[in-house]
Every structure is written in structure tokens, then in C-alpha cells.
Amino acid sequence: MQKIIVTGGARLAGEVRISGAKNAVLPILCATLLADTPVRISNVPRLHDVLTTAKLLAGLGAGVQHEGDAMTVDPRSVNSHVAPYELVKTMRASVLVLGPLLAKFGDAEVSLPGGCAIGSRPVDLHIKGLQALGAEISVDHGFIKARVDGRLKGARHVFEMVSVGATENVLMAAALADGTSVLENAAMEPEIVDLADCLNAMGAKIEGAGTSKITVHGVDKLSGCEHAVVADRIETGTFLVAAAMTGGRVTATHARADTLDAVLDKLREAGADIGIESDVIDGDRITLDMHGKRPRAVNLTTAPYPAFPTDMQAQFMAMNCMADGVGVINETIFENRFMHVNELLRLGADIRVDGHTAVVRGVEQLSGAPVMATDLRASASLILAGLVADGDTVIDRIYHLDRGYENIEAKLSALGAGIRRVD
């Protein structure tokens, strides 16, 4: 099994190009099922989850073509409405084909999803939202079976808790429903805005994406379009934290600063100088300069967007491990998202966990050791810790990493990090 070896001590410097967002491209690929003609999506990252989604679409009968960082999906040949366990088990986002299949074909069967082992992430929020639009849904032998006679019907639906996936699934389904749907307590993430932008380019009529109340005027049909995926805010944040931890100066290009307010605020609090140059065509250039200083510890609480993202919690914990002072981290999103703590302790970190709270006391020096990635963002945090640890940090189970970061070792190497992948 492949491992990554990080040799600590290098100060990062240079430019890194940010890829398209994994969490935006997956629902957009599922949304292509709603169209009557081919859809071309660009700025697509080459990630394991993207390839799994492409396989899933091909398994439903869609034509899928890859050209560089673009994918074209032709949904006209779809002849199956069943998403099997083999594909769904590795990726929770597979459940996002449920809404489009149901809205377009009146019928869908999706295996109950798998994915990272962090939290229960119940699919019942998806089911209740689709039932509000008139779907008949049963869960039988590990499959969600959904059907509707004729078209789904527009309705008002209040999500009982904020869920990105459920908002996406119901939003896609509502785009082809008969009448107007109002979705309240909707998730506000930039990836939802990107999905709505893509659907609107296909001919949907969606207003309010990015707020807690989304209005969807259903249309009879959607057509193909071209759409470029929004920049990955989590990848951007990860590279900026890497720069902060090593005392370096790094510019993230093709980024989107307006999706990162909470993260950039915390990095400024840690003592970083941050400069932003906006470019409508090529995206923003975000430069973080630490001027060789050690970061200051920060306190943070994760919460739904626009607050501090749970997907950046592990990376900031890694920073707090070597920062000056004590940082308190409250995780309010996922109940067992501190699995990386035991691995950071192996590197010499000083962390005390009490329920949803971790108190991290910065130490002068971390030391390299063999560690094991437990989920996607945890694997990134271990790489970050390795960048500042004395000696070599050997990270096992890095298949998690390939689910969410495109060529992370190549990108870090180009910034001067001592990092390599070994079989």
C-alpha cells in the first residue's frame, strides 16, 4: 500500500494553482442526469471520488468523456435508474443521483451510501425533502427506492437541520418539478451556489442560492451547458495553513477569496499577512506571508457556512500543535471528527480532548513518526504536521488523501517541501 514520507524543516515558498472543488463537482456531475443534451464541465479535479462518480454515471448508461480538466456527460443514453452498492459504498456523495433520477425518470434506486467513517450523516433529510415534492420512498434491503407518478410537485420544505447534501439533492429534483418550491433552512455553502449556477445555465430558474431560503420555479426540461467548477476553498485553506506553519510565503492562484472569509480571518489572527488580488477571469491570487515567524494559537468553533468549516478543523489543529500558546477547538458538525488526535500525539503534540472540545498546547518541536490517516482531512493535517516535524513522518492509508486533493505531493514539492510517495 502506498505511503507518503514527509521530511520536515523546509520553509514553503512560491505559487500553487488551486483545483476545482471536489464538493462542487460531485453534485454537478449528478445534475447532468437532468439534461436532455450533453453537458461540458471544466476545471474538474482528477480525484478518486470524481472517477467513482464518472463510473456511476457510466453504469447508469450515460456517455462520459474526459479531456484534460474537462468532462462531457451525455445523459441521453441513460437506461438504468439503479446505483449499486459496489460504487456507492466508497462514496457518500453517490446518494446525489437520487433526486435527478427521480425528477427525470420518475424512478430511482440508490444503495445506502458509505464514505468516510466520520459521523452518521443521515440520508433521512434527503428522503423527507423528496417526499415533500411528492415522491413515494421506501428503504428496503439496503436500497432507497423512490418513485413518482408523472412529475414531482413544487412544495415548501423546511430542512430540520442544515445539510449540504440534502439541500443539493432536493434542489436538483425541484428544478424539474411542476410548480414552485421554497427550500428553507437550506445550506449556504459556495458549492450550492455553484450547483445552482450550473443548473441555471441548463435552463433552471433558481433564486436565493447562498442564502437559507432558495426558491425554485420548476421547468419542463433542462438542456446541456458549459460550466467551470468553483475553486476548492478547502484545498486553498490547506496550502495557506502549510505556508503559515512553515513560516513561509505562498500564493494560491485560481482561488476564490470570498469563499474563505472565516479561514482567512483565523490565519490573520495567527499572525499571517494576507494579500488578495482579484481577477475575474483567472480567479483570485491569495498570498500568505509569515515572514518566518511562528504562528500564534487560535481558538475556533466549526459551524455551517459562512462560519468556520469543519473540513479545515484538522489542518488548524495541526497548526495549533506547533503554534505559540494554547488553542481551543470546538467541533459542532461531526461527532467523531477528532480521530486525527491520536496520530498527532504520536508526533509529540500536546492535545487534551473532552467531548466535542480539544485543547491544544503548542510545543516547540514536533518529531517525525509513523502515523496513519483516518479520513480525508485528517490525512492532510498529518502532512502539515510532518512539514514542521523533526525528521521523517511516514503516513499510511493515504488513499483517503487521493479522494480530495489533486497531486498534493507534487504541489507541495514545487513549494519546496520534502515529500514523496512510496509503494
Catalytic positions, please? 116
SS3 170: helix
- Secondary structure (3-state) at 76: helix
92 secondary structure, DSSP code:
G
Angle, vertex CA 304, rays to CA 277 and CA 321, nearest 5? 75
Give burial (CB, 10 Å; 0-12/13-18/19+) of 328: middle
Question: Can you tell me the distance from the alpha carbon of 256 to that of 170, in angstroms, rounded to the nearest whole number?
Answer: 26
Closest CA to 52 of 33, 70, 30: 30
Q: Using CA atoms, how far apart are residues 199 and 100, in angstroms rounded to an integer?
A: 11
Number of Cβ within a 10 Å radius of residue 307: 15
| DSSP state, residue 230 | P
Contacts of 50 (CB under 8 A, 6+ apart): 22, 25, 26, 29, 44, 71
Extract the C-alpha cell encoding 213: 431560503
Task: Determine if the peptide bond prior to 306 is cis (ω within 30°).
Answer: yes
CA-based nearest residue to 106, from 166, 178, 52, 49: 178
Burial of 142 (0-12, 13-18, 19+ CB in 10 A): exposed
Radius of gyration of the chain, Cα coordinates, nearest whole angstrom = 21
Task: State how far the Cα of 97 lies from the Cα of 102, in Å rounded to an integer.
Answer: 8
CA distance 191 to 28: 9
Rounded CA separation 89/26 (Å): 15
Distance CA 364, CA 389 (A): 10
Angle of CA points 221, 222, 226, to nearest 5°: 170
Burial of 376 (0-12, 13-18, 19+ CB in 10 A): buried
